[in-house]
Chains A and B, each alone.
Chain A
Amino acid sequence: MIQHLISTIITYLLILLGVAFFTLLERKALGYFQIRKGPNKLGIMGIPQPLADALKLFTKEWVTPNFSNYFPFILTPTIMLILALSMWQLFPSFMLTSQMTLGMFLFLCISSLTVYTTLMAGWTSNSKYALLGAIRAMAQTISYEVTMTLIIMFYLFLTMEMDIVSVRMTNSPIWTITLFFPLSVMWLAVILAETNRAPFDFAEGESELVSGFNIEYGGAGFAFLFMAEYSNILMMSLMTSCLLTSTLIMSIPVAIIFLWARGSLPRYRYDLLMAMAWKSFLPFSLATLIALTPLLFYF
């Protein structure tokens, strides 16, 4: 038990550090996408930049807007961070302190709880922009959650396991990305929409909602929301590398695809996004499952 505690704490701390440097990577990558340099002054080549950002955000004062619900407003970013961190206990390393037979189930449960925190952040901050952004984010996330679960189920049908480490080991002889490539591309679009990232970032459409659901948050609260978002991105990349390939190192290209999509794709349209989720992704993923079931009977 004490081993598990130590390994959990080390995982969480390293994830927070990884999130910090992932934001640096994003700023650098976006800089070079736009033919500028990005952060390069602080310390050696701008490497300690995320630590300075964190320090700045934590020392900013935390203003709560008038008539906002104070305790939910304060607690929501923390809950978001707690959910994002507690997902990382599933980290599928081979040096385990605990094996979870239903690990994928835990992943689905926690990632679906994230919707509540987005909605709470928008609703409690007593701002119209925040509320609109939160409602949009909620509708988008729950729409894509159905498809995400169905795609995960497709790969789980192949491995007959729900434990993520077992999924990895079953995938290791042949990568499942080669099995049905269109589904993998669809999975990529789904995880972009699920984490509210560009080109599907309607939760914070800058052109119409200024900053979306997190508009009233400044200082440490904003830092928590930011850390939770990037931690979710890294978790989704990790899930991709476990489900589609078997090596954890493949999560790095997926995380870079997130940045690449942000750097190169324009924002989608909201009604088209919803139509894509319900009219093309959902029937398609159901049809693949229907096609798979007789095959599973034969083999």
Chain B
Amino acid sequence: MEKVMLSVLTACLLGIILLVVGLFLGVSFYSGREKPSPFECGFDPMGSSRVPFSLRFFLLAVIFVVFDVEIVLLFPAVMVVGGSWMWITGYVALLVFLILLLGGVIHEWREGSLEWEV
């Protein structure tokens, strides 16, 4: 664990050094009215940039959260599956869980949450 932290901290250090170098070398001297304006193909930016987005993306993120949580619940099985201490009940439980997940996908599909038509 300490070694993981040490590696991450080393990465942070390297990143911050590079950031400082980049900020020092890339300091901007002249800044007019046009130069810092957001890029919109040569036009003046129209309205706010934080535009509303399609609800599809939000729905997809919600489905993703559900599946990701279920996958996290599935992960402990990796360490025990195939071992001699895992009885048939364990396998049956795993199988039931996986079939429920597949049933969940098919249910979402049938309900139309996975469609991408507008």
Contact = CB atoms under 8 A, between A and B. Distances in A.
A93 to B, nearest CB: 14
Contact of B57 (A60, A135, A215, A297): A135
A51 to B, nearest CB: 15
Interface in A83-111: 83, 85-86, 89, 97-98, 100, 105-106
Contacts of A79: 15
A206 interface: no
B111 interface: no
Contacts of B88: 297
Interface stretch (A61-69, A190-198, A235-243, A257-265): A61-69
A75 B79 CA distance: 37
Given A61-B28, A286-B98, A82 B11 contact: yes
A78 to B, nearest CB: 4
Interface in A248-299: 270-271, 274-275, 278-279, 282-283, 286-287, 289-290, 293-294, 296-297
A125 B38 CA distance: 8
Contacts of B82: 157, 160, 296
A228 B45 CA distance: 29
B: contact size bracket:
35 or more
Given A139-B57, A157-B78, A283-B106, A4 B14 contact: no
Interface residues of A, number: 80
Contact of B8 (A86, A126, A162, A279): A86
Of B27, B51, B64, B117, most buried by chain A (CB within 10 Å of CB) is B64
Contacts of A77: 19
A142 B61 contact: yes
A126 to B, nearest CB: 5
Nearest to B63: A278
A58 interface: yes
The main secondary structure of chain A at its interface with chain B is helix
A154 to B, nearest CB: 10
Of B25, B35, B53, B108, most buried by chain A (CB within 10 Å of CB) is B25
Given A131-B51, A274-B116, A74 B91 contact: no
B78 A60 contact: no
Contact of A286 (B16, B57, B101): B101
Nearest to A101: B79
Contacts of B114: 274-275, 278-279
B29 A296 contact: no
Nearest to B72: A149
Contacts of A23: none
A97 B4 CA distance: 11
B95 A293 contact: yes
B15 A153 contact: no
Given A59-B25, A62-B28, A153-B71, A271 B10 contact: no
A8 interface: yes
Contact of B27 (A62, A143, A149, A297): A62
A189 interface: no
Nearest to A142: B64
Contacts of B8: 82, 86, 89
A185 interface: no
Contacts of B22: 58, 62, 219-221, 223-224
Interface string B6-23: 111011101110110111
Interface of A: 1, 4-5, 8-9, 12, 58-68, 74-75, 77-79, 81-83, 85-86, 89, 97-98, 100, 105-106, 123, 125-132, 135, 138-139, 142-143, 145-146, 149-150, 153, 156-157, 160, 162, 210, 215-216, 219-221, 223-224, 270-271, 274-275, 278-279, 282-283, 286-287, 289-290, 293-294, 296-297
